Amino acid sequence: MKVFLKGMEFFAYHGVNKEEKILGQRFKVDVEFYVDEVKGDNIDNTVSYSYVYKLVREIVEGKNFNLMESLAKEIGNEILAIDKVKEVLVKVIKVSPPIDGILEEAGVEYRKKK
């Protein structure tokens, strides 16, 4: 069964440029993770969306990374460490990347299975 949280937005200080580390910027994060089919109608039989959101927020807002790739990998590995999670896909997007050109966003995806 696929579970997802889409469009999480955070303000953080990730990037290789000095300005990114000082001024910060907006990031969007989407996560998908796969669990076995849920039996019954009890939260203990699945993974709490609230827990995953808090985990993502703690990583994005609480740590600093030069690369979005490293940020996505950290998020993915932490979610995959949850016992019931079998596979994870993490998408990290810089909403306004510091690129000399016109583009909507830049991002990375990280996928991993147990």
Active site (catalytic) residues: 94
Nearest Cα neighbor of 29 from 94, 86, 85, 88 is 94
How many angstroms separate the CA atoms of 74 and 44, rounded? 25
